[in-house]
Structure 1
Amino acid sequence: MTTASPTAAAALPQPLVRRLLAHAVAGGAGTVAIHAPATGQFLVDLPQSSPADLDRAFAVARQAQRDWAEVPVRERVSILRRFHDLVLAEQSAVLDLVQRESGKSRVHAFDEVGDVAVNARYYAARAERLLTPRTPRGVLPLLTRVEVRYRPKGVVAVISPWNYPLALAASDALPALVAGNAVIARPDNQTALWAIDVARRAGLPEGLWQAVLGRGAAIGGEVVARADHVDYTGSTATGRIIARQAGERLIGCSLELGGKNPMLVLADADPRAAARIAVRACFASAGQLCESIERIYVHDAVHDRFVAEFTEATRALTLGSALDYSYEIGSLTFPRQLDTVTAHVGDAVAKGATVLAGGRARPDLGPYFYEPTVLTGVRPGMTAYREETFGPVVSIYRVSSDDEAVEQANDTPYGLNASVCGRDVAHARAVAARVRAGSVNVNEGFLAAWGSVAAPSGGLGDSGTGRRHGPEGLLGYVDTQTIAVQRAVPIAPLPGMSQALWAKTMTAYFGVMKALRQQ
């Protein structure tokens, strides 16, 4: 592995810190010192929120939301368009911030800018149509007029993780806001505050998008207890807790959770092309990505050539911490991630697995760097076989048929993302349809499905419930209200008509409607 020369991540400028913290309701629970993962250097003392801070934030949000719900959708949309333009125009500032706070490379930080831009553009283009009241057929055509309206949930809690601090904070908040809700964000760092600051400058009224700061263990439950809907991205264990709490309150929740995502390299795949796809799919953001590939099943026919190409490409990756595009892979973000990666690789090797590339920490580069790692010989009984590593580690398995590959890919309680590589696209799509995952990419790792924001994204099984992106990602933030108006005659026997004749008449009507193929 080669390395790029690092650039020190200095403390954040105080004017920027003061501007961003103006959008956080925090300070009642002290401060926490934040350090740059790539260098260990101090960045900022981040104030933490107390229950009293949460009460204040939600009270302001509820008042702001009542007014916001009366604003025409086209005016809300215009703010999304300005937000889109500002994010792209000011991307250099937020890329620096994302890199400093997460340790990821700039190219992977840019993925977050792109994600926010395409989500803002999509919902700006589609929100007005999706939220326009519709008029389905009534029970008695011409006599029954039905209107379905969409009402915002109220105050939506967006609990976003540390690994994609801009994308997962902003891209979930945008559809909630354009649907007429207020948003209380519970992010892990200041990048979400930057997005709120941009939204305010784009014209979003004050109080509609605020942040409360603190670890999930400290305030997560308090946030859920006050919200009208919860959007959470993170671990399956925490997702179960939030689902129970939301269920007890009878509020909705959307949960994108963990994954142990597979890639299937079919017999007709181009080994070199598949290897390039796999490198991006496995090691984006140093593997700290819910959609990241951690298992690769390779057909006998191309196994040896794929492994050679993939191993060589992995070894050639550059590591660094500069605030530029001079390298490909950045740092892990927290000590616990480094500990998990080290433990998984160590356990596998101790039980007979072989390291083909990487396999070691790089403290010479920074406190949490770990080389992109390729393992073979991983078997049941090894931690890395079933548990999500959430780091730059992937295991390769040889298979002899599509059926074997699909069976092993589906042998997991998770079902978030998957990938299938093959020259015959029709065949690869057929194989993809057999894989149990919310998204399956053909000849791509994750960006084809993830970046296609007009289509829903989410998990099956232990990977969660609910969907972001697409119409589903907007309509999940509203309740439907049906208003039905009956005209001329009631839905009841006419004067002088017996109940028996009424039933006979309606039976005949139902038969006619079926014959006419009417709903």
Structure 2
Amino acid sequence: MTTLSTAHPRVAALLADLPGRVQAADSSRKRDITDAMTGRPLGQVPHCTAEDVAAAAERARAVQQDWAARPVAERAQVLVRLHDLVLEHQDEVLDLIQLENGKARRHAFEEVIDVALTARYYANTAEKYLRPKRRQGVQLMLTEVWEHHHPKGLVGVISPWNYPLTLGISDALPALVAGNAVLAKPDDRTPFSHLWAVQLLERAGMPPGLVQTVTGPGSELGTPIIEQSDFLMFTGSTSTGRTVAKQAAERLIDYSMELGGKNALLVLDDADAAKAARGAVKAAFSNAGQLCISIERIYVPDALWDAFIGRFVEYTQALKLTPDLDYSADMGSLINENQLKTVRQHVDDAQSKGATVLTGGQPRPDIGPYFYEPTILTGVRQGMDVYEDETFGPVVSVYRVNSEDEAIAKANDSRFGLNFSVWTKDPERGRRVAAKLQAGTVNVNEAYAAAWASVDAPMGGMKDSGVGRRHGEHGILKYTESQTIATERGLPVGAPPWIRADRYATVMTAGLKALRRIPGVK
């Protein structure tokens, strides 16, 4: 098999070394990984089995108890050191991300920043979130109540290919600092970025074996991972998410899922058309549209239609597409042939049913096998595949609206609700409109990064776009079991033996009425 040792010497050693981090009983079974930029072979990883998953889970559990016994501050220092190592060695992983995923380097850099931000945030906040908290007891002064948080044990993390570093390791960081072990399955098209991150975690001081990685198709390994885990973090399609939820429910384990989207951008009638158009380019074409929170629907009022459309087309046509491993590209490649087929099918179907392509609409094999032009459609209507289904590519549909209320209603008329965007000169108006939108995150005068990168705030989807949240307090406490410890002093809860039950009921009724009038009593 051809390797990258001559074409890309910067990462040849990594591509040879990283697969050894995956333990499989049958070392002869391999899976080929393809260079998304060229379609040529990139490397190989083991093809794991259900038995390999069980063995990995056993190894992780053997390390987890000692890790959980360490002080939170000690565990947090691993994340501090990871933060520094990721920034210091970013060129290695930027190459890996570009090669296995195909994205432009500027979009790969977003993944580096995300891991650094997430590591720093939970390093600085984990102790606060995890420390025991005093709660109000049922009998004031007599009942002492404490809330504790214990690690779940083994957290399964199943991640997709579109953000192989971010989604391959960032969700694991709060799970680890909370005292858990992690059983990870990166997408079988993009395993190297995840394996690189695990290697850096161990260099940062994480015990070897605390994160176990299995590689192979989700159709074979998904169920075994659910069967071995105490909690599951899944990012992927809504259809697969429903299957995952059913299997997790059978085991009575909790889960968190970020799923599909058909995200909307609203241009309000007071918006700056040029700024909104530049924002729409970022919103629709970052990572070649292969971004769960990217925009696929844009609603523009009649008064701004010509000004917005003209600039949007102009800025889109100016985007530079290249396969280079540097910062010259504005947009990179799709991941593989299947994704290219989906994008082509959506655009061709829309055109055949009357939609208009304002720009783009063609593959670019002259640049690379999976490149596709950033594409703007108008005249999209119900009955076209692109109208309701997620394309997950550089394709966006633009619609005229007559009012703000119409834009809100049409944006909400979707089974998805992940990330929306609102553009206006009046931030307060933007927040009012945002609050009416049925999406887990809404960015005002930004495409997606403001909400995503604000890791102190929860991030996740409404409706068919997911269950649970990542980031913030919820993003770490979901990986723990809550425990309440109540200590009673003096009088027991309930009627003491020396008072009649009816008399106790009378006294308690009067007491509850009195407490109702005391400010601050819950």
Normalising by the smaller structure, the TM-score range is over 0.9
Deviation at 1:353, TM superposition (A): 0.6
Name the residue aligned to 1:26: 24
Deviation at 1:429, TM superposition (A): 1.2
**Per the alignment, do residues 206 and 328 of structure 1 end up closer, same or farther by CA in structure 2, a change over 3 Å counting?**
same
Name the residue aligned to 2:65: 66
**Per the alignment, do residues 9 and 445 of structure 1 end up closer, same or farther by CA in structure 2, a change over 3 Å counting?**
farther
2:274 pairs with 1:272: yes
Deviation at 1:13, TM superposition (A): 5.0
Q: Matches of 1:356 and 1:65 in 2, distance apart?
A: 55
Deviation at 1:408, TM superposition (A): 0.5
- Match for 1:168: what amino acid? L
Matched position secondary structure for 2:328: coil
Name the residue aligned to 2:48: 49
Q: Deviations over 1:371-424 (max 9, x none)?
A: 000000001111101100000000000101001100110110000000000111
Q: Matches of 2:499 and 2:111 in 1, distance apart?
A: 66
Q: Matches of 1:418 and 1:13 in 2, distance apart?
A: 37
Moved more, 209-218 or 13-22: 13-22
Deviation at 1:134, TM superposition (A): 0.4
Q: Deviations over 1:335-375 (max 9, x none)?
A: 11100000000000011111111100011111100000000
Could you tell me whether the CA contact under 8 Å between 2:11 and 2:95 is conserved in 1?
no
Q: Matches of 1:276 and 1:107 in 2, distance apart?
A: 16
Matched position secondary structure for 2:329: coil
Q: Deviations over 1:297-348 (max 9, x none)?
A: 0011111100000000000100011110011110000211100000000000
**Residues 333-348 of structure 1 correspond to what in structure 2 (within 5 A)?**
333-348=335-350
- Match for 1:123: what amino acid? Y
**Residues 198-237 of structure 1 correspond to what in structure 2 (within 5 A)?**
198-237=200-239
Q: Structure 1 residue runs of 4+, over 6 Å off?
A: none
Q: Matches of 1:15 and 1:402 in 2, distance apart?
A: 55
2:14 pairs with 1:16: yes
Name the residue aligned to 2:433: 431
Name the residue aligned to 2:75: 76
- Match for 1:23: what amino acid? R
Deviation at 1:190, TM superposition (A): 1.2
2:477 pairs with 1:478: no
Gaps of 5+ in 2: 1-5
TM value normalised by structure 2: 0.96
Deviation at 1:26, TM superposition (A): 3.0
Matched position secondary structure for 2:87: helix
Name the residue aligned to 1:328: 330
**Per the alignment, do residues 61 and 371 of structure 1 end up closer, same or farther by CA in structure 2, a change over 3 Å counting?**
same
Matched position secondary structure for 1:22: helix
Name the residue aligned to 2:168: 169
- Match for 2:134: what amino acid? T
- Match for 2:393: what amino acid? G
- TM-align CA RMSD: 1.3
Name the residue aligned to 2:318: 316
Name the residue aligned to 1:3: none
Q: Matches of 1:222 and 1:363 in 2, distance apart?
A: 39
Could you tell me whether the CA contact under 8 Å between 2:417 and 2:463 is conserved in 1?
yes
Matched position secondary structure for 1:313: helix
Name the residue aligned to 2:257: 255
Name the residue aligned to 2:123: 124
Q: Deviations over 1:82-112 (max 9, x none)?
A: 0000000000100000001000000000000
**Per the alignment, do residues 323 and 27 of structure 1 end up closer, same or farther by CA in structure 2, a change over 3 Å counting?**
farther
Deviation at 1:33, TM superposition (A): 1.1
Q: Matches of 2:25 and 2:345 in 1, distance apart?
A: 36
Q: Matches of 1:460 and 1:79 in 2, distance apart?
A: 33
Q: Matches of 1:343 and 1:494 in 2, distance apart?
A: 74
Q: Deviations over 1:233-289 (max 9, x none)?
A: 010010000000001110001010000000000100101000110000100100000
Deviation at 1:425, TM superposition (A): 1.3
Could you tell me whether the CA contact under 8 Å between 1:11 and 1:42 is conserved in 2?
no
- Match for 1:58: what amino acid? A
Matched position secondary structure for 1:135: strand
Name the residue aligned to 1:402: 404
Q: Matches of 2:9 and 2:416 in 1, distance apart?
A: 39
Could you tell me whether the CA contact under 8 Å between 1:11 and 1:44 is conserved in 2?
no
**Per the alignment, do residues 279 and 13 of structure 1 end up closer, same or farther by CA in structure 2, a change over 3 Å counting?**
closer
Could you tell me whether the CA contact under 8 Å between 1:28 and 1:52 is conserved in 2?
no
Q: Aligned match of 2:510 in 503, 508, 511?
A: 508
Deviation at 1:25, TM superposition (A): 2.5
- Match for 1:300: what amino acid? D
Name the residue aligned to 1:492: 494
Q: Matches of 2:398 and 2:25 in 1, distance apart?
A: 48
- Match for 2:77: what amino acid? S
**Residues 170-189 of structure 1 correspond to what in structure 2 (within 5 A)?**
170-188=169-187, 189=191
Q: Aligned match of 1:193 in 179, 192, 195?
A: 195
Deviation at 1:28, TM superposition (A): 3.0
Name the residue aligned to 2:3: none
Identity within the alignment, %: 53
Gaps of 5+ in 1: 1-7
- Match for 2:348: what amino acid? G
**Per the alignment, do residues 12 and 210 of structure 1 end up closer, same or farther by CA in structure 2, a change over 3 Å counting?**
farther
- Match for 1:74: what amino acid? A
Could you tell me whether the CA contact under 8 Å between 1:26 and 1:213 is conserved in 2?
no
Count of residues in correspondence between the two structures? 512
Could you tell me whether the CA contact under 8 Å between 1:9 and 1:39 is conserved in 2?
no
Q: Matches of 2:15 and 2:160 in 1, distance apart?
A: 20
Name the residue aligned to 1:464: 466
